[in-house]
Amino acid sequence: MPRFATAGSKVYIGAPLDVKTTDFVAADFSSQSWVEIGGLTNIGSVGDTNQEVNSSEIGLGRDISVKGTANAGTLSLTCNIDTSDAGQIALRAAQKSIANYAFKIEFPDKPSTGASPKGSQRLFIGLVMGVPENLGGANQFAALDATVKINSNVVQVGPSAS
């Protein structure tokens, strides 16, 4: 995959989607109607980190570690406040719900050729935990600082020419 800058990336919120007992795949998100979240200035990070499980074994005189459960983290989105932006309105509504919502991140790495080139994507579900406003200082934009607790694996879809 070629290198690319975050500039030009887009984040979308979809409809509620239930947690599964197995990992999500791209097809699980195919029926979603996506709403772009506008005014983004920072996307944050996504992806699994495993918990560390330790045991202090007396006979070895050593701590032994194994990987425990995976956690995809919390996505921190920052956007310039736009009270008319449909994506920001959807984030605020989702924060009032106990449901997990579908999310999509699209990167600007689409191929330069092909019938309908598409950039790579990250797909997941999460709970919108907060949407506080960060009003900052006199020479700053008022910002919306949304936090999304990711409750699934993060599906990685590569760029395609069709």
DSSP notation for the chain: -----STT-EEEEEEE----SS---GGGGTTPPPEE--SEEE------EEEEEEEEETTTTEEEEEEEEEE--EEEEEEE--TT-HHHHHHHHHHTSSS-EEEEEE-S---SSSSS-B--EEEEEEEEEE--EE---TTS--EEEEEEEE-S--EEE--B--
The pLDDT value given to residue 1? 52
Task: Specify the amino acid at residue 34.
Answer: W
Low-confidence ranges of the chain (pLDDT < 70): 1-2
The pLDDT value given to residue 121? 95
Q: Could you tell me the pTM of the whole model?
A: 0.91
